[in-house]
Amino acid sequence: MIQYKSAREIELMAEAGGMVARTFQRIAPMIQPGVKTLAIDEAVRDSISELGGTPLFLGYHGFPAHSCISVNEEVVHGIPGDRQLMDGDLVSIDIGIGAQGFCGDSARSFLVGEASQETQEVLTVCRKALANGIEAAYPGNTLCGLISSIEEVIEASGRGLVKEFVGHGIGRNMHEEPQVPNFVSNDLKKRDFELREGLVLAIEPMVNGGGGGVKTLKDGWTVVTRDGSVSAHCEHTVAITADGPRVLTLGPGESWPPLPGAVGQ
């Protein structure tokens, strides 16, 4: 059952989402060659604690870290560890924070040093797909209409669209109805509905440089591309309001659409 949020609840979600964004702002300078992903996760841990939030990922179905950090061929749910970032890497970081009974969830992808043109293009497609999805999150549109706007960008690029993992509703719980895949299936068409004020969604396209196929490693968490190509993951928590989409996972000095040169957004 979909849980629609009041204006007050959306404000509380914006506070949780703001904590996520401020955490990204704190760790962004660390995205450098030679830095271990575990060190980044420790910085995420410290930021969440200092901001007074609760880490949503730690212990979720046994997940062992405060953030998901996925590098290059890793798509989502990468476990931070001893892997060192290298020049040219594409690293996707997913952070969830709870505060005052509500959740904020966002993923940002970063280029490490000088990345190849191919890697840059994958990230550009992912960010464009997210932007299209956000722009389509307005009252009167349909869920399929929103999702089509994401799918069209990825398909037109010729990149791989990941179908196994989806966005979702979000509120008091990190995962709520409805599911928000990044492609329109026949089943979804049967369950389509009109978007209305108070719906809050975590919109999160995942784009592979090669095919869309993925597999999960033996650790039970890390999802990688089957063909070894790089992957990008971009996500924002978005509220549908009378004035259109409102991105709730923004920090000080950030805006939507992002300003030119914005890091990670």
User: What is the length of the chain?
Assistant: 265
Domains and CATH numbers, the chain: 7-247 (3.90.230.10)
Q: At which residue do the structure tokens 């033996």 appear?
A: 218
3-state secondary structure of 198: coil
pLDDT tens digits, one per residue of 112-139: 999 999 999 999 999 999 999 999 999 9
Q: Does pLDDT of 141 surpass 70?
A: yes
Q: Does pLDDT of 262 surpass 60?
A: no
Q: At which residue do the structure tokens 């290059």 appear?
A: 72
The pLDDT assigned to 258 comes to 74
The answer to whether 213 and 86 have CB atoms below 8 angstroms apart is: no
Q: What is the mean pLDDT of the chain?
A: 97
**pLDDT confidence tier of residue 260, bands split at 50, 70 and 90:** low
| 202 contacts: CB under 8 Å, gap ≥ 6 | 105, 106, 167, 168, 169, 170, 180, 235, 236, 237, 238
For residue 215, CA distances in Å to 108, 203, 212, 228 come to 21, 22, 10, 11
pLDDT tens digits, one per residue of 149-188: 999 999 999 999 999 999 999 999 999 999 999 999 999 9
Q: How far apart are CA 186 and CA 65, in angstroms?
A: 36
Q: How far apart are CA 230 and CA 239, in angstroms?
A: 30
Share of the chain above pLDDT 90, in %: 95
Tokens representing residue 134 in the block: 């956000």
The pLDDT assigned to 256 comes to 84
Share of the chain above pLDDT 70, in %: 97
**pLDDT confidence tier of residue 263, bands split at 50, 70 and 90:** low
